[in-house]
Structure 1
Amino acid sequence: MLRYFETKLNLEPGTLGSASDLSGFGRRKAGEAEAVALYSEAVLSWRQGSFGLAFEQAQDARRQLSTVGRSDITLLIGALLVEINIDLGHYREAVAEATAHLTAARAVGSSLLEARAGILTSKAARLDGDARLAASSAADAVRLCQSAHLPMIVSAQALMAAISAGHDDAGAYAHELEESAAALEETPTRGLAEWVLGNVAWHSGDVEAGKAAHDRANQLLSPTADFRNWARFPRVAAEERLQAGCEDGVAELLREAKSRLDLLESADELATLAIVRARFARAQGHVDEALDDIRAALEDADLPPSTQGRLYLAAAHAYGEQGDMTQATAVALQAARRFTEAGDVNQARTAWEFVDETAQAAEQANA
């Protein structure tokens, strides 16, 4: 801790004395204080989008606590590392961190901590392709919120996680979330709720409700309160419109998405944006442009296997539209391999189904 403040104050090493001058109790308190300082810096770096730096700072804070034994601070660091791993695209590591965090939260005996940990686990599992764990963790969090009468803001977050995970009761959860959102103040959390409700509306084909909810979400999300979701929102909003067959406003959303995501230290998010841009280009009949976007994104060797798989599958669809079934099959096989490596069974199955379809189309063309 002494060295930390000497650095911050631009003092010579040793100016404030030595840790050896402290008693055993004093050294423990100094260690705790330094861990809190490192954790605070990690949170600040994470909120500013400097995920690599945030990861290093959080790990330093965890190491600092290894001899102190403060479970409360350790839980905070664990939750932060889940979020950082997600933002870095390290989904498998995020799931491992989240499940350990959930176990630790249960050991403490706090319903609030357990519910928050379940929400994080659901989020990490969904991104890693584990639909079952994502749905069950979120549903457990919803039940815990209801039984323990947890704050409405936590209940809303649990409902959002369950809906996003595609739980069987997503329709009922959406109705509950709509009621909860109406009672929330106009905060970024209300913005997230409107975002999810907008997604539900788009999925159900209610175009006007989807647009209205996403417009409200965009107004409420804040780069200072939640930089990551503020940066991600336009890309997701564009993707939801395209999935619903609506191209109105997509070009503007994609331009805004590029502007915001350029500020975010996440190759994975930029790669996902490339997939959405490619889909829009294909819808406009610009297949070559779509392939250019995908090839450029694939040049990043640090992308997680699941993201590489989605890029290859997007390329397969583009080649298929060009009539190049040989290349379409080849890249679809690459997609299947990447999804299998990532442990995403559902996406791997989708890629193999595409391979079968292109093979059948080729056979019919040659018949």
Structure 2
Amino acid sequence: MSDEEAAGQRLMLELRARDAWNQRDYEGAQRLAEELAAAALQAHDELGWWHATFLVSECLRKQGKMQESLVTAEMLGKHPLTEGSKALRAKVSTLASLALQGTGNLALAVAAARQGVEDAMGSNEDVNLEIDARHALVAALADSDQLEAAWQECLVLVDLLPLQPASKYVGQSYWTIGNVAFLLGRVAEGVEYHQLAAENLSPTNDLDLWARFNRASASLRLAAGAVGPETLECIERAELASSIVGGTQRDRMELKLTRAEWLVLTGQFDAAVDQLTDIIQRKHLLASHMAAQAHLLLGQALSARGSRTEALGNFRVSEGLFLQSGAKDRASAAHALIRGIQEVPS
């Protein structure tokens, strides 16, 4: 095969991989990206190999294979091309942060995202690199209960977003900013930024993203104590979209967890116990801080039903998992519930 023919074959593989990605066929995109990486390596095309391998890592993350995605990202981080380019370092650090969040390693996720922001700011190549890195940093800080630090990063994002009004990251970034506002009890601002997110996200363009946005919006509304019709509508939109696109097992479990939280907060404890028991039986699919939330909610539902011993066991597991994740404030909340049960006479 001539060099021109080999280059044409690699281009075709790249187009097919990107098409599979756009169709949300992440397993197929991964296989094609791996084939492309092997072909690029054979052709001594280091940059082509780098981009193909980066796509492999992204596909693994999209399939919920967070540890495998992280291993691939870390391998890329040690490559000479990455070490010689702040832009490539920013991309790898951001990807690693997202994978670390997915495994529940929140302290490391924050550190990786901060490195991504630093390298993105130093690259001066594309403001989207900084938007993406700050988006990951805000999410990692919020998940690890560093809410004031997350809000300060949100304010920087608010200034950056108008610089790229057509960017694919705008909707997702407003979504993240709204999340932090809700967590801080800034409910009006949370609603405002989630409305901006909804205006910049489209179920027509990306139904999977639309499903995840509505689930996250519902989850944050619940965290703020908002259990009204608008919250239920978010859950139902997410469930409908998820039933169409399928999504990963992790996505479906996280959506079930959101529905379970709504059941707990609306006093439907029997239904909540059934739902949460099923989730916990498959908690290995969830990040550790999400599994902790499932145990916390089950403890609350069981306590409301008068099953104090079972509730106490779940609160203890929840506290341990939150501590393991680095979510100290939520671990403290679980510990307070433990003490509340222990201090009440039998």
TM-score (norm 2): 0.83
Q: Are residues 171 and 76 of structure 1, via their aligned partners in 2, closer, same or farther at CA, if it must alter by over 3 Å?
A: same
Work out whether 1:100 is the aligned partner of 2:100: no
Work out whether 1:141 is the aligned partner of 2:111: no
Question: Which of residues 238, 248, 251 is equivalent to 1:266?
Answer: 248
Aligned to 2:264: 282
Contact 1:46 1:54 in 2 (8 A): yes
- Output the CA distance in 1 between the equivalents of 2:106 and 2:185: 23
How much does 1:72 deviate? 1.8
Aligned to 1:200: 180
Q: SS state of the match for residue 165, structure 1? A: helix
Contact 1:82 1:124 in 2 (8 A): no
Contact 2:107 2:326 in 1 (8 A): no
- Output the CA distance in 2 between the equivalents of 1:73 and 1:223: 32
Instruction: Kindly report the root-mean-square deviation, in angstroms, between the aligned alpha carbons of the 2 structures.
Output: 3.2
Aligned to 2:210: 230
How much does 1:164 deviate? 1.3
Q: Are residues 175 and 70 of structure 1, via their aligned partners in 2, closer, same or farther at CA, if it must alter by over 3 Å?
A: same
Aligned to 1:245: 225
> Which letter maps to 1:283?
L
- Output the CA distance in 1 between the equivalents of 2:116 and 2:239: 34
> Which letter maps to 1:284?
T
- Output the CA distance in 1 between the equivalents of 2:292 and 2:40: 38
After the TM superposition, which residues 145-224 of structure 1 pair with which residues of structure 2 at under 5 Å, given as runs?
A: 145-166=120-141, 169-223=149-203
- Output the CA distance in 1 between the equivalents of 2:149 and 2:62: 28
How much does 1:232 deviate? 0.8
Unaligned runs of 5+ in 2: none
Aligned to 1:255: 236
- Output the CA distance in 1 between the equivalents of 2:92 and 2:81: 9
Question: Which of residues 131, 147, 166 is equivalent to 2:106?
Answer: 131
Work out whether 1:90 is the aligned partner of 2:65: yes
- Output the CA distance in 2 between the equivalents of 1:94 and 1:191: 24
**Residues 179-201 of structure 1 deviation map (CA, whole Å, 9 limit, x = unaligned):** 11133214432111211221222
Q: SS state of the match for residue 125, structure 1? A: helix
Aligned to 1:323: 306
Q: Are residues 360 and 185 of structure 1, via their aligned partners in 2, closer, same or farther at CA, if it must alter by over 3 Å?
A: closer
Q: Determine what percentage of the aligned residue pairs are the same residue.
A: 21
Contact 2:182 2:221 in 1 (8 A): yes
Please say which of residues 141-150 and 208-217 is displaced more in the overlay.
141-150
Please say which of residues 276-285 and 294-303 is displaced more in the overlay.
294-303
How much does 1:203 deviate? 2.3
Unaligned runs of 5+ in 1: 1-21
How much does 1:230 deviate? 2.8
> Which letter maps to 1:61?
L
- Output the CA distance in 2 between the equivalents of 1:211 and 1:100: 40
> Which letter maps to 1:206?
R
Q: Are residues 77 and 225 of structure 1, via their aligned partners in 2, closer, same or farther at CA, if it must alter by over 3 Å?
A: farther
**Residues 153-173 of structure 1 deviation map (CA, whole Å, 9 limit, x = unaligned):** 222112212211216743332
Q: Are residues 334 and 58 of structure 1, via their aligned partners in 2, closer, same or farther at CA, if it must alter by over 3 Å?
A: farther
**Residues 14-70 of structure 1 deviation map (CA, whole Å, 9 limit, x = unaligned):** xxxxxxxx3xxx2x6555544443343333323323333333333333344453332
After the TM superposition, which residues 353-364 of structure 1 pair with which residues of structure 2 at under 5 Å, given as runs?
A: 354=334, 358=338, 361-362=341-342, 364=344
Q: SS state of the match for residue 240, structure 2? A: helix
Q: Are residues 90 and 365 of structure 1, via their aligned partners in 2, closer, same or farther at CA, if it must alter by over 3 Å?
A: farther
How much does 1:78 deviate? 2.4
- Output the CA distance in 2 between the equivalents of 1:328 and 1:252: 30
